[in-house]
Amino acid sequence: MTAGRVTAGRLTAGSTAVRRDIAHGRVWTAMPYTVLADDGATLTLTARPGTAMLAPRSWTASLRAGDDAARKLGIRDLAAGHWELDHWVWRDTVVLSRFTAGEHYSVHRFLTPEGRPLHWYVNFERPYRRTAIGIDTLDLFLDLVITPDLSTYAWKDEDEYAQARRLGLIDTATHRELEHARELALAQALEHSGPFAPDPDTWTLPPPGPLPVLPTAALSTPTG
């Protein structure tokens, strides 16, 4: 697949888009996705088990050891601007992801490789910025997990969000934006509207294809 193949400002279906978290002018994470659709504002992507990515060593260490304390140390490293990247391979689930311009959250649907829905996942983050290879954003720790039928939900990682606020990673203005985003995302989920509206074209398991590959440019210095 071709990374960052853009037509009239849009990524073409089947090409590779790299989603990166950027902090202090450096890459915090980088993961390649396959583009399903791009209308110029809303970008729909998918990732499958076996996809190789980069993530901070604190995060990969916590996953390998099952130690949540190591993950929280990563927030301290992020605030200090000092971390090492490590290789990781996406496991177990297929994820369908929808990113909308200007929004402080993206919406993801997790499925088994056979297509059975597992849960919805709302990731709160900085609004994405287009790049030559995909999009740049920054995860802001808070998450919302919702059952497949949208009937039950739970907030996740509120302790990490509080730690990030204490360390100055999330200022007052951003906190206010996220408060609004929380209300909007939850209302849409409960109303089955917006990204949660029934949409088989977006939220159905796509046909299998080659795994996207992380390009060398994924580690390039962000601009703008």
The answer, yes or no, to whether residue 5 has pLDDT greater than 60, is: no
Share of the chain above pLDDT 70, in %: 96
Band (pLDDT 50/70/90 cuts) for residue 3 is very low
**Cα–Cα distance for residue pair 111/116, rounded to 1 Å:** 5
The answer, yes or no, to whether residue 41 has pLDDT greater than 90, is: yes
Q: Which fold has domain 6-208?
A: FomD barrel-like fold (2.40.380)
Mean pLDDT of 45-62: 94
Band (pLDDT 50/70/90 cuts) for residue 63 is confident
46 touches 206 (CB < 8 A): yes
**Residue 114: per-residue pLDDT:** 95
**Residue 47: per-residue pLDDT:** 97
**Residue 67: per-residue pLDDT:** 72
Output the average pLDDT for the chain: 92
Share of the chain above pLDDT 90, in %: 83
pLDDT in tens, 23-40: 999 999 999 999 999 999
